[in-house]
Amino acid sequence: MTRPGNRPSPTAALRPQWSSRLLRDRDGRVDYPITMKSTQIMLRLVRIYLAIFTCSVLLGCGGDGRPSLVQATGRVTLNGEPLEGASVSFVPVEVADATFQRPSFATTNAQGEFTIGTYGSEDGIPAGKYQVGIQKREVVGALPKDFNEEEASQFRVRYKLIVPLSYRDPAASGVTVEVTSDGMQPAVIELNSSGNPEFETTGPGGGTDV
């Protein structure tokens, strides 16, 4: 007869038999039951799938509804010389997703080279055809003493245009490129500047003059 103090729990029969003991092999090492092993394997697979998904998003492989990006580099020259510090913008003309209208950007280094970025710095660009705008200018004299970049339009500043104004607007620059899985073509954007230098004044009463 079972004493009241030793009465088994009603749920005892439902508990896994391996929960309170571990199996051991001939060498005395712990050998988990097959159910526990299966759980561990499943957890490993879940971690692997999560890692693959994270990598695909970071590499721009169509995550969050974004188009896949191609790593693309190029170079800009002005009158045959590398152009440093130029801002380059790419406006889509023909891409796989007709609704994609986001521009891409790049900045040239000392050798005139650049790597294009769309959602982040140098993260790539969707394959397709693009109109290109290029801009570089330098401040003439000194900036106003209380100049604030966030409120630049409130200050009158004079610039010398290193790249002619005609190249600034992608829609009117006449510069186009095509990006494929092999990169950007043409790989070199050749600009020419001739005649008198151009100047631009921003802020109140600003404008462009030669």
- pLDDT one-digit tens code per residue, 146-200: 898 888 888 999 999 999 999 999 999 999 999 999 999 999 999 999 878 899 9
Is residue 11, in this structure, part of any structural domain at all?
no
Measured between alpha carbons, how far is 93 from 81 in angstroms, rounded to an integer? 28
Is residue 9, in this structure, part of any structural domain at all?
no
Question: Are 48 and 129 members of one domain?
Answer: no
Is residue 96, in this structure, part of any structural domain at all?
yes
The residue type of 144 is P
120 vs 49 pLDDT, higher one: 120
The residue range of the domain holding 31 is 20-58
**Where residue 19 falls among pLDDT bands split at 50, 70, 90?**
very low
In the chain, % helix, strand, coil (3-state, to 5) comes to 20, 35, 45
In the chain, beta strands by DSSP E:
23-24, 30-31, 73-78, 81-82, 87-95, 104-107, 113-115, 128-135, 137-139, 157-161, 175-180, 183-185, 188-191, 198-202, 207-209
Residue 22 pLDDT: 46
Measured between alpha carbons, how far is 191 from 188 in angstroms, rounded to an integer? 10
**Where residue 206 falls among pLDDT bands split at 50, 70, 90?**
confident
Residue 61 pLDDT: 45
Kind and range of the H or E element at 50?
Answer: helix 34-58
What's the mean pLDDT in 57-79?
A: 78
Work out the angle at residue 113's Cα, subtended by the Cα atoms of residues 99 and 138, and round it to the nearest 5 degrees.
95
Residue 60 pLDDT: 42
Question: Are 133 and 73 members of one domain?
Answer: yes
Number of domains in the chain: 2
With beta carbons less than 8 A apart as the criterion, state whether 180 and 141 touch: no
Residue 52 pLDDT: 43
Which is nearest to 167 in space by CA: 70, 83, 73? 83
Question: Are 137 and 74 members of one domain?
Answer: yes
Residue 153 pLDDT: 87
Question: Are 151 and 170 members of one domain?
Answer: yes
Question: Are 87 and 127 members of one domain?
Answer: yes
- Over residues 61-71, the pLDDT tens digits come to 455 678 999 99
pTM of the model: 0.68
Question: Are 45 and 108 members of one domain?
Answer: no
Question: Are 39 and 118 members of one domain?
Answer: no
Mean pLDDT, the chain, whole residue set: 80
Is residue 87, in this structure, part of any structural domain at all?
yes
**Where residue 37 falls among pLDDT bands split at 50, 70, 90?**
very low
Is residue 70, in this structure, part of any structural domain at all?
yes
Question: Are 139 and 196 members of one domain?
Answer: yes
Question: Are 127 and 47 members of one domain?
Answer: no
Question: Are 75 and 154 members of one domain?
Answer: yes
Question: Are 46 and 113 members of one domain?
Answer: no
Question: Are 182 and 196 members of one domain?
Answer: yes
Residue 56 pLDDT: 44
Residue 98 pLDDT: 86
